[in-house]
Amino acid sequence: MSLISYLTTIRFQAGALSDVGNDLRELGIRMPLIVTDAGISRVGLVDRLISVLSAGQHIPVFAGTPTNPTESAVMAALDLYCSHGCDGLIAIGGGSPIDLAKGVALLSTHDGPLEQYAAILGGIPKISAAVAPLIAIPTTAGTGSEVGRAALITLEDGRKLGFISPHLIPKRAICDPDLTLGLPPALTAATGMDAITHCIETFLSPHFNPPAEAIALDGLVRGVGNIERAVAQGADRTARHEMMMAALEGGLTFQKGLGAVHALSHPLGGLKQVSLHHGTLNAVLLPYVLEFNRSHAEAKYATLRQRLGLNDSVDLADYVRSLNLRLGMPATLAEMGVPRDSFALIAKSATEDHSSATNPRPAGEADYRAILEAAYEGIPVKPGA
């Protein structure tokens, strides 16, 4: 069966932030909790948001979102939500505050513990429409979480699990490309490569969903065509606009499922001993997974080459490697400081990740191990791995 599910309400426009008061009214939210992180708070975006929202009303702010959202941070934000009598949320920031706000929206209306709602533990049907309303305002162009049905949250025991439900899709996404104008080059590159990876992995997913594939291809062309300009010239409004649309389109295609890149980057992002950026991990892993999948997606690789204007002799993995190099991304997991002694655990977790099932080539523990080793050393994935 094909499950094709649209639409989310999205405001996409430079300056869209100033209309967020209308969204609150339309959704009937009287007291929102703002969820963000320290960096976003520091650059004044939360103050700007509050100034367009309130006439003297005190609006609570949770700014303690970690790089990778954790269960304990969800519980801390939930305390603030309850103590202020909140009835909805506004998440402003990258994917982490948006995912964390989804966790709060869930637990404010569903009994704990959080773990029981994890997708791989059979939690999807336990998440009802009672989830509190959430308005998502992305300040990076990458995650797509503003229109996505998943939240990735690290539990107390270190497992980074996906919480997935159509009810977790934010009720509104406010996509204001001007909010990304100040994003530093390294973060622009990492988050942009996340968006590009979403478009590629969802396109390669074997699920039958032609509308989502068309969106993924459009997002890919915009992303690849503008990421270098957005990195080199951060104030270029056209490049920022195109990158935000690429990220949004990547998110709109999540319903097809991702693949082995995300099956690996999710557990890697949950490692406690080192803090690894999701987008950077995806950028580094993507060429190796493209090598691994090549034999199982030849026709789609031809479509990707054609849409990117590449001739038949171009190897997509090499193409992404050169793009990473031009963007200043690390070339290997070793360069990122990924601990090699984690590979057995990561390979096992990858097979259990919800993204693994939609990789075009079935991947088991030994396959994931081979991809990790290759990406660590910067060598080709061993054929037949």
* Closer residue to Zn ion in complex, CB, 132/147: 147
Nearest-approach distance from CB 32 to Zn ion, in angstroms:
26
- What one-letter code names the amino acid at 179? L
Nearest-approach distance from CB 195 to Zn ion, in angstroms:
8
Nearest-approach distance from CB 128 to Zn ion, in angstroms:
26
* Closer residue to Zn ion in complex, CB, 81/254: 254
Which residues touch 306 (CB under 8 Å, ≥6 apart)?
none
**Choices 5-13, 171-179, 194-202, 341-349 (CB under 5 A): range interacting with Zn ion:** 194-202
Residue-wise burial string across 333-361, b where 16 or more C-beta atoms lie within 10 A, e elsewhere: beebebeeebbeebbebbbebbbbbbbbb
Cα(114)–Cα(92) distance, integer angstroms = 22
Contacts (CB under 5 A) with Zn ion, residues 232-261: none
| Residue 201 binds Zn ion (CB under 5 A) | no
Given a contact cutoff of 8 angstroms between Cβ atoms, the answer to whether 245 and 10 are in contact is no
**Choices 113-121, 123-131, 189-197, 222-230 (CB under 5 A): range interacting with Zn ion:** 189-197
Given a contact cutoff of 8 angstroms between Cβ atoms, the answer to whether 237 and 178 are in contact is yes
Q: Which of 153, 69, 161, 75 is nearest to 119 (CA)?
A: 161
* Closer residue to Zn ion in complex, CB, 194/242: 194
Peptide bond into 113 cis (omega under 30): yes
Binding marks (x or -) toward Zn ion, 146..185, rule CB under 5 A?
----------------------------------------
Nearest-approach distance from CB 346 to Zn ion, in angstroms:
16
Instruction: Tell me the β-bridge partners of 171.
Output: none
State which of residues 71, 194, 213, 242 lies at the interface with Zn ion (CB under 5 A): 194
* Closer residue to Zn ion in complex, CB, 64/279: 279
**79 C-beta neighbours (distance < 10 Å), count:** 12
* Closer residue to Zn ion in complex, CB, 194/213: 194
Helix (H, G, I), strand (E, B) or coil at 347: helix
- Per CB under 5 A, residues contacting Zn ion are 194
